[in-house]
Amino acid sequence: MKAPTPPQLRKLKAAAKTAAGRAYAPYSRFTVGAAILTASGKVYSGCNVENASYGLTNCAERTAIFNAVAAGEKKLRLQCVVVYTPTDMPTAPCGACRQVINEFGPKARILSICRGKGQISSSTHELLPDSFGPASLG
């Protein structure tokens, strides 16, 4: 999958950062924003949404992807996922989010950025080798 253009990347980073500001994270106080670029060039974003029943928390990455599906993206194909945290170190997607990213973006690029300088760039395959996905069902 081709890399986002510099303007697309700027837009994704800005959208992920804005989304982090919308996080509902009163329990962990760990705010996360995510923005996705679809193969058709659209950007969707999402934040983490926690719950008093902690296990019901939805991560930023999944919120962004579900947001795209809910907006009518019938054949969603992820080109790039940007994750932003206002921390010194970047945050890689959790296991559940890796599985959901794989569903819609087996060839995607995942970039984690933060307030600090560090970043992590990985392919879906690097994050989830030997994956179970749509093709596994035959």
Determine what percent of the chain falls in helix, strand and coil, rounding each to the nearest 5: 35, 25, 40
Give yes or no for residue 28 binding ligand THU (CB under 6 A): yes
Partners of 47 in the beta sheet? 33
Which of 61, 65, 73, 100 lies at the binding interface for ligand THU (CB under 6 A)? 61
Nearest Cα to Cα of residue 38 among 13, 10, 74: 74
Extended beta strands in the chain, E state: 33-38, 43-47, 78-85, 109-114, 119-123
Give whichever of 59 and 65 is closer to ligand THU, judged by the CB atom. 59
To the nearest whole angstrom, how small is the minimum distance from the Cβ of residue 84 to ligand THU?
10
- Pick the binder of ligand THU from 69, 94, 132, 134 (CB under 6 A): 94
Nearer to ligand THU, 41 or 125 (CB): 125
C-alpha pair distances (Å), 28 with each of 3, 42, 50, 51: 33, 31, 8, 10
Q: Write down the residue that tokens 């700027």 correspond to.
A: 10
Of the candidates 9, 13, 14, 30, which one interacts with ligand THU according to CB under 6 A? 30
Question: Does 45 participate in binding ligand THU (rule CB under 6 A)?
Answer: no
Which of 37, 60, 76, 100 is close enough to bind ligand THU by CB under 6 A? 60
Min. distance of Cβ 31 from ligand THU in angstroms? 8
- Provide the annotated active-site residues: 61
Per-residue tokens: 6: 């510099």
* Length, in residues, of the chain: 138
Residues forming contacts to ligand THU in the complex (CB under 6 A) are: 25, 28, 30, 32, 48, 50, 57, 59-61, 91, 93-94, 97
